Amino acid sequence: MSCLIIFPNCTKEKDCFKISRKVKVDERYFFYWGNINIGNIDEFSPPVKTGEVSESDYNSYAEGDLYCPN
């Protein structure tokens, strides 16, 4: 998948970010990055800087890890 579809804020596939939070909602997996107000994270009002990832990526990375979508 394209970087722009999954991660609309990245400008090229080599953009990387530090995972601030991992969230699983209804068998969907998300990484959040940047400054996050923890109180606003849920399936109805996700923060702006988020991206859906595969279950494999979700399980392979921890909060604080650097993630480079490909």
CB 22 within 8 A of CB 58: yes
pLDDT for the residue numbered 33: 84
pLDDT along the chain (70 residues), means of 10: 47 72 92 69 62 95 92
Q: Where exactly are the structural domains of the chain? A: 3-67
Report which of 39, 48, 51, 40 is spatially closest to residue 5, judged by C-alpha positions: 51
Report which of 21, 39, 38 is spatially closest to residue 30, judged by C-alpha positions: 21
Quote the CA–CA distance of 35 and 1 in Å, as a whole number: 26
pLDDT for the residue numbered 13: 44
pLDDT for the residue numbered 2: 42
